[in-house]
Structure 1
Amino acid sequence: MTRILAINGSPRKRGNTETVLDAFLRGAESAGAEISKITLVDIDHKNCRGCNACHKKGVCILTDDLTPIFEEVMSSDILVLASPIYSMTVTAEMKSFIDRGQFLWAQKFVTKTLSFSPEHLANHIGVYLGTSGQDILHIFDGAFPVVCAFFNDAGFSYTENVLFPGMDQHGGVKGWPESVAKAESEGRRIAGLLNSS
Protein backbone atom coordinates (compact mmCIF):
# COMPACT_ATOMS: atom_id res chain seq x y z
CA MET A 1 0.00 0.00 0.00
CA THR A 2 1.26 3.46 -0.91
CA ARG A 3 2.02 5.54 2.18
CA ILE A 4 1.33 9.25 1.87
CA LEU A 5 2.52 11.73 4.47
CA ALA A 6 1.25 15.29 4.29
CA ILE A 7 3.00 18.11 6.14
CA ASN A 8 0.63 21.04 6.62
CA GLY A 9 2.59 24.28 6.90
CA SER A 10 -0.37 26.60 7.29
CA PRO A 11 -0.77 28.21 10.72
CA ARG A 12 -4.47 28.70 10.07
CA LYS A 13 -6.68 25.84 11.22
CA ARG A 14 -9.30 24.66 8.72
CA GLY A 15 -8.36 27.42 6.31
CA ASN A 16 -7.99 27.24 2.55
CA THR A 17 -4.77 25.22 2.55
CA GLU A 18 -5.89 22.63 5.07
CA THR A 19 -9.27 22.28 3.34
CA VAL A 20 -7.79 21.47 -0.07
CA LEU A 21 -5.11 19.32 1.55
CA ASP A 22 -7.76 17.26 3.32
CA ALA A 23 -9.60 16.88 0.01
CA PHE A 24 -6.35 15.74 -1.64
CA LEU A 25 -5.90 13.13 1.08
CA ARG A 26 -9.49 11.92 0.73
CA GLY A 27 -8.87 11.38 -2.95
CA ALA A 28 -5.62 9.55 -2.25
CA GLU A 29 -7.30 7.33 0.33
CA SER A 30 -10.07 6.48 -2.11
CA ALA A 31 -7.34 5.29 -4.50
CA GLY A 32 -6.09 2.85 -1.85
CA ALA A 33 -3.33 4.89 -0.21
CA GLU A 34 -2.58 4.94 3.49
CA ILE A 35 -2.65 8.60 4.54
CA SER A 36 -1.23 10.61 7.42
CA LYS A 37 -1.21 14.36 8.11
CA ILE A 38 0.97 16.43 10.41
CA THR A 39 0.14 20.08 11.12
CA LEU A 40 3.33 21.91 12.00
CA VAL A 41 1.68 24.61 14.11
CA ASP A 42 0.70 21.83 16.54
CA ILE A 43 4.26 20.52 16.86
CA ASP A 44 6.50 21.74 19.68
CA HIS A 45 9.91 22.15 18.09
CA LYS A 46 12.94 24.38 17.87
CA ASN A 47 14.32 26.15 14.83
CA CYS A 48 17.60 25.15 13.21
CA ARG A 49 20.47 26.91 14.99
CA GLY A 50 22.84 26.87 12.05
CA CYS A 51 25.45 25.27 14.31
CA ASN A 52 26.62 22.79 11.62
CA ALA A 53 26.92 20.01 14.21
CA CYS A 54 25.17 17.74 11.72
CA HIS A 55 28.17 18.18 9.40
CA LYS A 56 30.23 16.01 11.75
CA LYS A 57 28.04 12.91 12.10
CA GLY A 58 24.99 13.71 10.01
CA VAL A 59 22.76 13.96 13.07
CA CYS A 60 20.87 16.98 14.36
CA ILE A 61 21.68 17.78 17.99
CA LEU A 62 18.13 19.04 18.57
CA THR A 63 15.67 16.47 19.89
CA ASP A 64 12.01 17.41 20.13
CA ASP A 65 8.60 16.56 18.70
CA LEU A 66 9.90 17.11 15.17
CA THR A 67 12.57 14.41 15.45
CA PRO A 68 10.29 11.37 14.88
CA ILE A 69 8.50 13.17 12.06
CA PHE A 70 11.63 12.98 9.93
CA GLU A 71 11.54 9.20 10.42
CA GLU A 72 7.97 9.22 9.09
CA VAL A 73 9.11 11.30 6.13
CA MET A 74 11.80 8.80 5.22
CA SER A 75 9.38 5.86 5.43
CA SER A 76 6.77 7.46 3.16
CA ASP A 77 6.25 6.81 -0.52
CA ILE A 78 4.65 10.15 -1.34
CA LEU A 79 5.42 13.31 0.60
CA VAL A 80 3.11 16.30 0.33
CA LEU A 81 4.40 19.67 1.52
CA ALA A 82 1.40 21.98 1.80
CA SER A 83 1.82 25.70 2.35
CA PRO A 84 0.09 28.93 1.43
CA ILE A 85 2.18 31.76 0.08
CA TYR A 86 3.22 34.20 2.80
CA SER A 87 5.42 37.10 1.66
CA MET A 88 6.06 35.36 -1.67
CA THR A 89 7.24 32.00 -0.33
CA VAL A 90 6.25 29.22 2.06
CA THR A 91 5.19 29.97 5.63
CA ALA A 92 7.60 30.31 8.54
CA GLU A 93 6.32 26.98 9.85
CA MET A 94 7.18 25.17 6.64
CA LYS A 95 10.53 26.91 6.30
CA SER A 96 11.45 25.96 9.87
CA PHE A 97 10.63 22.32 9.11
CA ILE A 98 12.72 22.38 5.94
CA ASP A 99 15.63 24.08 7.72
CA ARG A 100 15.62 21.35 10.35
CA GLY A 101 16.15 18.86 7.53
CA GLN A 102 19.66 20.22 7.05
CA PHE A 103 21.01 17.02 8.60
CA LEU A 104 19.77 15.12 5.53
CA TRP A 105 21.77 17.46 3.30
CA ALA A 106 24.79 16.85 5.55
CA GLN A 107 24.36 13.08 5.23
CA LYS A 108 24.24 13.35 1.44
CA PHE A 109 27.02 15.84 0.80
CA VAL A 110 29.28 15.94 3.86
CA THR A 111 29.30 12.58 5.65
CA LYS A 112 28.31 10.74 2.43
CA THR A 113 26.13 8.32 4.42
CA LEU A 114 22.89 8.88 2.49
CA SER A 115 22.19 8.25 -1.16
CA PHE A 116 19.19 7.30 -3.27
CA SER A 117 19.14 4.91 -6.21
CA PRO A 118 17.27 5.74 -9.41
CA GLU A 119 14.78 3.01 -8.44
CA HIS A 120 14.15 4.67 -5.08
CA LEU A 121 13.61 8.07 -6.67
CA ALA A 122 11.25 6.59 -9.25
CA ASN A 123 9.07 5.23 -6.45
CA HIS A 124 9.10 8.23 -4.12
CA ILE A 125 7.12 11.27 -5.22
CA GLY A 126 7.33 14.80 -3.84
CA VAL A 127 4.23 17.00 -4.12
CA TYR A 128 3.94 20.70 -3.38
CA LEU A 129 0.37 21.74 -2.64
CA GLY A 130 0.14 25.52 -2.61
CA THR A 131 -2.49 28.19 -2.18
CA SER A 132 -2.25 31.94 -2.62
CA GLY A 133 -4.51 34.91 -2.11
CA GLN A 134 -3.36 36.69 -5.25
CA ASP A 135 -3.56 35.36 -8.76
CA ILE A 136 -0.50 36.90 -10.36
CA LEU A 137 2.18 35.51 -12.63
CA HIS A 138 4.95 33.66 -10.79
CA ILE A 139 3.14 33.82 -7.42
CA PHE A 140 4.53 30.39 -6.46
CA ASP A 141 8.04 30.88 -7.84
CA GLY A 142 9.55 31.64 -4.43
CA ALA A 143 8.19 28.42 -2.96
CA PHE A 144 9.35 26.02 -5.66
CA PRO A 145 13.12 26.00 -4.92
CA VAL A 146 12.52 25.80 -1.16
CA VAL A 147 10.41 22.66 -1.32
CA CYS A 148 12.61 21.25 -4.09
CA ALA A 149 15.65 21.44 -1.82
CA PHE A 150 13.94 19.36 0.84
CA PHE A 151 12.59 16.79 -1.63
CA ASN A 152 16.08 16.37 -3.08
CA ASP A 153 17.66 15.86 0.34
CA ALA A 154 14.97 13.42 1.51
CA GLY A 155 14.98 11.28 -1.62
CA PHE A 156 11.74 12.29 -3.34
CA SER A 157 11.39 13.07 -7.01
CA TYR A 158 9.72 16.48 -7.12
CA THR A 159 7.35 15.92 -10.02
CA GLU A 160 3.99 17.29 -8.90
CA ASN A 161 2.51 20.69 -8.06
CA VAL A 162 -1.12 21.08 -7.01
CA LEU A 163 -1.71 24.81 -7.02
CA PHE A 164 -4.62 27.05 -6.13
CA PRO A 165 -3.87 30.70 -6.92
CA GLY A 166 -6.35 33.54 -6.49
CA MET A 167 -8.14 32.41 -3.36
CA ASP A 168 -9.00 36.02 -2.52
CA GLN A 169 -10.95 36.66 -5.68
CA HIS A 170 -12.94 33.47 -5.15
CA GLY A 171 -13.68 34.18 -1.52
CA GLY A 172 -11.63 31.17 -0.45
CA VAL A 173 -12.66 27.55 -0.78
CA LYS A 174 -16.20 28.31 0.39
CA GLY A 175 -16.71 30.37 -2.75
CA TRP A 176 -14.66 28.04 -4.94
CA PRO A 177 -15.94 24.48 -4.49
CA GLU A 178 -14.16 23.50 -7.69
CA SER A 179 -10.87 23.81 -5.81
CA VAL A 180 -11.91 21.06 -3.41
CA ALA A 181 -13.03 18.85 -6.28
CA LYS A 182 -9.73 19.45 -8.09
CA ALA A 183 -7.71 18.63 -4.96
CA GLU A 184 -9.57 15.39 -4.42
CA SER A 185 -9.12 14.40 -8.07
CA GLU A 186 -5.39 15.18 -7.91
CA GLY A 187 -4.99 13.13 -4.74
CA ARG A 188 -6.62 10.18 -6.43
CA ARG A 189 -4.48 10.58 -9.55
CA ILE A 190 -1.16 11.00 -7.75
CA ALA A 191 -1.77 8.10 -5.36
CA GLY A 192 -2.53 5.99 -8.40
CA LEU A 193 0.86 6.74 -9.92
CA LEU A 194 2.46 4.31 -7.48
CA ASN A 195 -0.49 2.02 -6.82
CA SER A 196 -0.61 1.13 -10.50
CA SER A 197 3.14 0.48 -10.78
Structure 2
Amino acid sequence: MIKMLVINGSPRKGGNTETVLDAFIEGAQEAGADVEKIRLVEIDHKNCRGCNACHKTGICIIKDELTPVFDKLLTADILVLASPIYSMTVTAEMKSFIDRGQFLWAQKFFTKTLSFSEEHLAKHTGVFFATSGQSMRSIFDSAFPVVRVFFNDAGFSYTENVLFPGMDKHGGVKGWPESLVEARERGKEIVKKMDMKLKA
Protein backbone atom coordinates (compact mmCIF):
# COMPACT_ATOMS: atom_id res chain seq x y z
CA MET A 1 0.00 0.00 0.00
CA ILE A 2 1.24 3.48 -0.84
CA LYS A 3 2.20 5.41 2.29
CA MET A 4 1.49 9.13 2.36
CA LEU A 5 2.68 11.35 5.18
CA VAL A 6 1.01 14.75 5.43
CA ILE A 7 2.65 17.49 7.47
CA ASN A 8 0.17 20.26 8.20
CA GLY A 9 1.88 23.55 9.05
CA SER A 10 -1.29 25.55 9.59
CA PRO A 11 -1.76 26.83 13.15
CA ARG A 12 -5.55 26.89 12.65
CA LYS A 13 -7.57 23.75 13.29
CA GLY A 14 -10.42 23.42 10.81
CA GLY A 15 -9.39 26.48 8.82
CA ASN A 16 -9.27 26.85 5.05
CA THR A 17 -6.02 24.93 4.65
CA GLU A 18 -7.01 21.98 6.80
CA THR A 19 -10.47 21.77 5.25
CA VAL A 20 -9.24 21.48 1.66
CA LEU A 21 -6.32 19.34 2.86
CA ASP A 22 -8.74 16.85 4.40
CA ALA A 23 -10.58 16.62 1.06
CA PHE A 24 -7.22 15.92 -0.60
CA ILE A 25 -6.55 13.20 1.96
CA GLU A 26 -9.97 11.65 1.36
CA GLY A 27 -9.18 11.44 -2.35
CA ALA A 28 -5.82 9.84 -1.64
CA GLN A 29 -7.45 7.27 0.63
CA GLU A 30 -10.11 6.53 -1.98
CA ALA A 31 -7.28 5.78 -4.40
CA GLY A 32 -5.84 3.28 -1.92
CA ALA A 33 -3.22 5.21 0.04
CA ASP A 34 -2.48 4.76 3.73
CA VAL A 35 -2.42 8.38 4.95
CA GLU A 36 -1.16 9.84 8.22
CA LYS A 37 -1.64 13.55 8.95
CA ILE A 38 0.49 15.34 11.50
CA ARG A 39 -0.44 18.81 12.76
CA LEU A 40 2.78 20.56 13.75
CA VAL A 41 0.99 22.93 16.10
CA GLU A 42 -0.01 19.94 18.26
CA ILE A 43 3.52 18.57 18.58
CA ASP A 44 5.76 19.69 21.46
CA HIS A 45 9.04 20.49 19.76
CA LYS A 46 11.89 22.96 19.74
CA ASN A 47 13.34 25.04 16.93
CA CYS A 48 16.71 24.31 15.34
CA ARG A 49 19.47 25.85 17.50
CA GLY A 50 21.88 26.42 14.65
CA CYS A 51 24.55 24.63 16.69
CA ASN A 52 25.87 22.69 13.65
CA ALA A 53 26.45 19.57 15.77
CA CYS A 54 24.78 17.56 13.02
CA HIS A 55 27.54 18.67 10.63
CA LYS A 56 29.90 16.44 12.61
CA THR A 57 27.62 13.54 13.51
CA GLY A 58 24.73 13.69 11.07
CA ILE A 59 22.39 13.52 14.07
CA CYS A 60 20.25 16.27 15.55
CA ILE A 61 21.01 16.71 19.26
CA ILE A 62 17.40 17.74 19.96
CA LYS A 63 15.16 14.86 20.99
CA ASP A 64 11.47 15.69 21.24
CA GLU A 65 8.11 14.81 19.68
CA LEU A 66 9.34 15.85 16.24
CA THR A 67 12.15 13.26 16.24
CA PRO A 68 9.93 10.24 15.34
CA VAL A 69 8.21 12.30 12.63
CA PHE A 70 11.47 12.32 10.68
CA ASP A 71 11.68 8.52 11.03
CA LYS A 72 8.19 8.22 9.54
CA LEU A 73 9.09 10.65 6.78
CA LEU A 74 11.87 8.44 5.50
CA THR A 75 9.49 5.49 5.09
CA ALA A 76 6.82 7.40 3.12
CA ASP A 77 6.24 7.12 -0.63
CA ILE A 78 4.53 10.51 -0.83
CA LEU A 79 5.35 13.44 1.42
CA VAL A 80 2.93 16.36 1.56
CA LEU A 81 4.01 19.67 3.08
CA ALA A 82 0.87 21.73 3.66
CA SER A 83 0.79 25.38 4.66
CA PRO A 84 -1.19 28.55 4.20
CA ILE A 85 0.83 31.49 2.95
CA TYR A 86 1.73 33.91 5.75
CA SER A 87 3.83 36.99 4.89
CA MET A 88 4.48 35.56 1.41
CA THR A 89 5.89 32.19 2.51
CA VAL A 90 5.14 29.12 4.65
CA THR A 91 4.06 29.46 8.27
CA ALA A 92 6.48 29.64 11.17
CA GLU A 93 5.43 26.11 12.12
CA MET A 94 6.38 24.73 8.72
CA LYS A 95 9.62 26.70 8.55
CA SER A 96 10.60 25.39 11.99
CA PHE A 97 9.99 21.83 10.78
CA ILE A 98 12.07 22.41 7.66
CA ASP A 99 14.90 23.94 9.69
CA ARG A 100 14.94 20.90 11.98
CA GLY A 101 15.65 18.81 8.87
CA GLN A 102 19.12 20.33 8.67
CA PHE A 103 20.56 17.02 9.88
CA LEU A 104 19.40 15.40 6.63
CA TRP A 105 21.38 17.99 4.66
CA ALA A 106 24.35 17.33 6.94
CA GLN A 107 24.13 13.58 6.30
CA LYS A 108 24.20 14.21 2.55
CA PHE A 109 26.97 16.77 2.38
CA PHE A 110 29.07 16.50 5.55
CA THR A 111 28.98 12.95 6.94
CA LYS A 112 28.16 11.42 3.53
CA THR A 113 25.90 8.85 5.19
CA LEU A 114 22.75 9.57 3.22
CA SER A 115 22.20 9.42 -0.51
CA PHE A 116 19.30 8.72 -2.83
CA SER A 117 19.49 6.88 -6.12
CA GLU A 118 17.68 8.04 -9.24
CA GLU A 119 15.37 5.03 -8.84
CA HIS A 120 14.55 6.09 -5.28
CA LEU A 121 13.82 9.67 -6.31
CA ALA A 122 11.61 8.49 -9.18
CA LYS A 123 9.43 6.56 -6.72
CA HIS A 124 9.18 9.15 -3.94
CA THR A 125 7.03 12.19 -4.60
CA GLY A 126 7.04 15.52 -2.78
CA VAL A 127 3.82 17.55 -2.83
CA PHE A 128 3.47 21.18 -1.76
CA PHE A 129 -0.11 21.90 -0.72
CA ALA A 130 -0.92 25.54 -0.05
CA THR A 131 -3.69 28.08 0.26
CA SER A 132 -3.53 31.86 0.23
CA GLY A 133 -5.87 34.71 0.96
CA GLN A 134 -4.63 36.82 -1.92
CA SER A 135 -4.73 35.80 -5.58
CA MET A 136 -1.71 37.60 -7.04
CA ARG A 137 0.24 35.40 -9.47
CA SER A 138 3.42 35.52 -7.36
CA ILE A 139 1.76 34.67 -4.05
CA PHE A 140 3.43 31.24 -3.73
CA ASP A 141 6.78 32.10 -5.34
CA SER A 142 8.74 32.68 -2.13
CA ALA A 143 7.56 29.38 -0.65
CA PHE A 144 8.63 27.17 -3.57
CA PRO A 145 12.41 27.22 -2.92
CA VAL A 146 11.86 26.69 0.82
CA VAL A 147 9.95 23.45 0.33
CA ARG A 148 12.14 22.38 -2.59
CA VAL A 149 15.30 22.30 -0.51
CA PHE A 150 13.59 20.12 2.09
CA PHE A 151 12.24 17.66 -0.46
CA ASN A 152 15.72 17.41 -1.99
CA ASP A 153 17.34 16.71 1.38
CA ALA A 154 14.69 14.14 2.35
CA GLY A 155 14.84 12.18 -0.90
CA PHE A 156 11.59 13.21 -2.56
CA SER A 157 11.20 14.44 -6.12
CA TYR A 158 9.33 17.71 -5.87
CA THR A 159 6.95 17.31 -8.79
CA GLU A 160 3.53 18.34 -7.50
CA ASN A 161 1.94 21.58 -6.36
CA VAL A 162 -1.66 21.65 -5.14
CA LEU A 163 -2.46 25.33 -4.77
CA PHE A 164 -5.58 27.26 -3.85
CA PRO A 165 -4.99 31.02 -4.19
CA GLY A 166 -7.55 33.74 -3.55
CA MET A 167 -9.42 32.35 -0.55
CA ASP A 168 -10.38 35.87 0.50
CA LYS A 169 -12.31 36.69 -2.66
CA HIS A 170 -14.29 33.46 -2.27
CA GLY A 171 -15.07 34.13 1.36
CA GLY A 172 -13.01 31.12 2.36
CA VAL A 173 -13.50 27.49 1.53
CA LYS A 174 -17.17 27.63 2.54
CA GLY A 175 -17.80 29.94 -0.39
CA TRP A 176 -15.65 27.87 -2.73
CA PRO A 177 -16.98 24.29 -2.64
CA GLU A 178 -15.26 23.62 -5.98
CA SER A 179 -11.95 23.72 -4.11
CA LEU A 180 -12.95 20.62 -2.17
CA VAL A 181 -13.80 18.77 -5.37
CA GLU A 182 -10.48 19.75 -6.95
CA ALA A 183 -8.53 18.80 -3.83
CA ARG A 184 -10.16 15.37 -3.68
CA GLU A 185 -9.43 14.73 -7.34
CA ARG A 186 -5.80 15.82 -6.97
CA GLY A 187 -5.40 13.44 -4.05
CA LYS A 188 -6.65 10.56 -6.18
CA GLU A 189 -4.54 11.62 -9.16
CA ILE A 190 -1.26 11.84 -7.25
CA VAL A 191 -1.74 8.45 -5.60
CA LYS A 192 -2.61 6.84 -8.93
CA LYS A 193 0.54 8.31 -10.47
CA MET A 194 2.61 6.85 -7.65
CA ASP A 195 0.93 3.47 -8.02
CA MET A 196 1.94 3.40 -11.68
CA LYS A 197 5.54 4.34 -10.79
CA LEU A 198 5.81 1.60 -8.19
CA LYS A 199 4.44 -0.99 -10.59
CA ALA A 200 6.72 0.08 -13.46
Give the structure-2-normalised TM-score: 0.98
Residue 14 of structure 1 is matched in structure 2 by 14
Q: Which runs of 5+ in 2 are unaligned?
A: none
Residue 94 of structure 1 is matched in structure 2 by 94
Q: How many residues get paired?
A: 197
Distance 1:163 1:137 in 2: 11
Task: Give the counterpart letter for 1:64 in structure 2.
Answer: D
What does residue range 32-111 of structure 1 map to in structure 2 within 5 Å? 32-111=32-111
**RMSD, aligned α-carbons:** 0.5
Residue 112 of structure 1 is matched in structure 2 by 112
Q: Which runs of 5+ in 1 are unaligned?
A: none
User: What SS is found at the alignment partner of 1:183?
Assistant: helix
Distance 2:185 2:17 in 1: 16
Distance 1:116 1:40 in 2: 26
Superposed CA deviations along residues 73-128 of structure 1, whole A, max 9, x for unmatched, are 00000000000000000000000000000000000011110000000000000000
Residue 193 of structure 1 is matched in structure 2 by 193
Deviation of 1:196 (Å): 2.5
The answer to whether residue 133 in structure 2 is matched with residue 133 in structure 1 is yes
**Does the CA-based 8 Å contact 1:32-1:195 persist in structure 2?**
no
Task: Give the counterpart letter for 1:110 in structure 2.
Answer: F
Residue 161 of structure 2 is matched in structure 1 by 161
Flag as ranges the 4+ runs of structure 1 deviating above 4 A.
none
The answer to whether residue 150 in structure 2 is matched with residue 150 in structure 1 is yes
Distance 2:192 2:19 in 1: 21
Q: Report % sequence identity.
A: 72
Deviation of 1:194 (Å): 1.5
Deviation of 1:180 (Å): 0.6
